[in-house]
Chain A
Amino acid sequence: AQTVTQSQPEMSVQEAETVTLSCTYDTSESDYYLFWYKQPPSRQMILVIRQEAYKQQNATENRFSVNFQKAAKSFSLKISDSQLGDAAMYFCAYRSARVNTNAGKSTFGDGTTLTVKP
């Protein structure tokens, strides 16, 4: 079974600065997908960024980028130029690429609550 670990329950960052949220996972599979989701207070969870395990290039989406280290099973999220609207709980998630036995299964980490200080 896959596991996802987010070792930082809470993080804080000064507005306009950079913060990195950590995520490690454990799997015996070679093909999978990794996601970061953002859940603002009392608002819907939305996708921040995704990474295909077969791609060596790290995914980027505007101010959000990942550092994907497949051998180390690490998938950290870097938020540059932090804004007040980035304050939320961030979840790291793993999804298997298998079509049959693990189809639809997602494994989420416990989440990291990010506070942005003005």
Chain B
Amino acid sequence: ETGVTQTPRHLVMGMTNKKSLKCEQHLGHNAMYWYKQSAKKPLELMFVYNFKEQTENNSVPSRFSPECPNSSHLFLHLHTLQPEDSALYLCASSQDARGSYEQYFGPGTRLTVT
């Protein structure tokens, strides 16, 4: 596989469920990102990892818990979500977190919270 992959592509979960989103990049990058894309708001940065260290948490509620075990993998653990958390969750990567590097995006996970 090439580029940035995300699984699952679609997820429906109840408010009491626990699920995880997975992102994998095959580009040799050192920075990875989680974004939330919803119809009512622009693309919102959630978390940034640079060389496996979290460098940004954009005031994200604790029901979202990121994990970055290595530079190639990024997870987003979800628990007790709310209906307003329904959105497209995009993962991205870049060479590192410096602004000069473009970001490569995955296809996203379409999350529906019921």
List residues of chain A with CB under 8 Å of any chain B CB.
Answer: 4, 32-33, 35, 37, 43-47, 50, 52, 91, 95-99, 102-111
Contacts A45-B90, A111-B42; A105 near B48 (Cβ below 8 A): yes
> Are the C-beta atoms of A104 and B102 separated by less than 8 Å?
no
Contacts A103-B98, A104-B31, A105-B56; A44 near B103 (Cβ below 8 A): no
Chain B count of residues within 8 A CB distance of the other chain: 23
Chain A residue nearest in CB terms to B48: A104
List residues of chain B with CB under 8 Å of any chain A CB.
Answer: 3-4, 31, 33, 42-43, 45, 48, 50, 55-56, 90, 97-100, 102-108
Residues of B within 8 A of A104 (CB): 31, 33, 48, 50, 55-56, 97
Which A-B residue pairs are the 10 nearest by beta carbons?
Answer: A95-B99, A104-B97, A104-B48, A108-B43, A45-B105, A103-B97, A110-B42, A47-B102, A97-B99, A33-B99
Residues of A within 8 A of B48 (CB): 103-105
A to B contact number (C-beta, < 8 Å): 60
Residues of B within 8 A of A91 (CB): 42-43
Contacting A43 at CB < 8 Å: which of B4, B97, B107? B107
Q: A44-B107, A95-B99, A106-B33 are in contact. List 18 more A-B contacts (CB 8 A).
A: A33-B99, A35-B102, A37-B105, A44-B4, A44-B105, A45-B105, A50-B102, A98-B99, A103-B55, A103-B56, A103-B97, A104-B50, A104-B97, A105-B45, A105-B56, A105-B99, A106-B45, A111-B42
> Are the C-beta atoms of A44 and B106 separated by less than 8 Å?
yes
A58 to B102, CA, bound (A): 17
* Shortest Cβ distance from residue B105 to the other chain A in the assembled complex, whole angstroms: 4
A97 to B81, CA, bound (A): 35
A83 to B39, CA, bound (A): 26
